[in-house]
């Protein structure tokens, strides 16, 4: 029973968007996942894993926005722009 719960948790976390910040400053990122909106802070040269569980999602930072992000995508912040690599 415990093993099946662990496998279910691991399986569900395998499909979620990863955000990698390549800039030397931190950003406040807003994520719109369906009707749910959240914000996270991503540190300088940091990363956040496991966002946008259902997709498609919209990610935005001040001055840049990326829509149509899938639940298994990887996106980057580079030069103040959020984009697909």
Measuring CA to CA, which residue among 17, 21, 30 is closest to residue 61? 30
Average pLDDT over residues 48-72: 92
> What letters, b where the CB count within 10 A reaches 16 and e where it falls short, cover 45-54?
eeebeebbee
Verdict on whether the full-model pTM lies above 0.95:
no
Note the pLDDT of residue 71.
Answer: 86
> For residues 34 and 57, what is the distance between their CA atoms, to the nearest angstrom?
7
pLDDT tens-digit series, residues 1-32: 444 444 444 444 457 899 999 999 999 999 99
- The highest-confidence range among 5-9, 16-20, 40-44, 53-57, by mean pLDDT, is 40-44
Torsion sign across C-alpha atoms 31, 48, 72, 85: positive
Set out the domains of the chain in order of their start, with CATH numbers. Answer: 2-83 (2.60.40)
């Amino acid at each position: 029973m415990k093993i099946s719960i662990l496998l279910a948790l691991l399986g569900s976390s395998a499909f979620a968007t990863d955000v990698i910040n390549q800039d030397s400053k931190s950003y406040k990122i807003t994520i719109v996942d369906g009707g749910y909106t959240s914000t996270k802070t991503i540190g300088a040269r940091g990363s956040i894993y496991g966002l946008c569980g259902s997709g498609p999602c919209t990610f935005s930072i001040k001055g840049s926005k990326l829509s149509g992000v899938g639940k298994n995508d990887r996106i980057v912040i580079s030069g103040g722009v959020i984009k697909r690599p």
